[in-house]
Amino acid sequence: MGTYLLIESRDPFDSADVERMYELAAGLAEHADEVTVYLVQNGVMPVRAASPASARVRELAARATVLADEFSLRERGITDDEITEGVRPVPIEVLVDLLAEPGRKVMWH
């Protein structure tokens, strides 16, 4: 069983590759791997519950841990009460800790 950290910084409306990253994360999680997805910069845009992409993020959060960078959320005017179910806002220090974990495989998009 592997542990994975996938970091997404792009908005799914700007890049079709974001959907492939979501599919990769879901696929890894289906194989009993521990998967964490950290959304940063424009990658936080679909966590707004009103976003058309929020359903896809909720779907992913049902299979993997989905974290959203607090600073990125604030910079884009997304408040905690607007965040879709299953996504947890966290400070950048959480990402640093995840990156430092031995054996964790990291992919950044």
- Indicate which CATH number applies to the domain containing 83: 3.40.1260.10
Using 70 as the pLDDT threshold, list the residues of the chain that sit under it: none
Which range of residues forms the domain containing residue 66?
A: 3-108
Q: What's the number of domains the chain is made of?
A: 1
Please say whether the beta carbons of 50 and 82 come within 8 A.
yes
Please say whether the beta carbons of 65 and 44 come within 8 A.
no
For 87, other C-beta atoms within 10 Å of its C-beta total 24
> What is the reported pTM?
0.94
pLDDT digits (tens, 9 = 90+) for 26-57: 999 998 789 999 999 999 999 999 999 999 99
User: Distance (Å, rounded) from C-alpha 21 to C-alpha 18?
Assistant: 5
Please say whether the beta carbons of 95 and 39 come within 8 A.
no
For 45, other C-beta atoms within 10 Å of its C-beta total 23
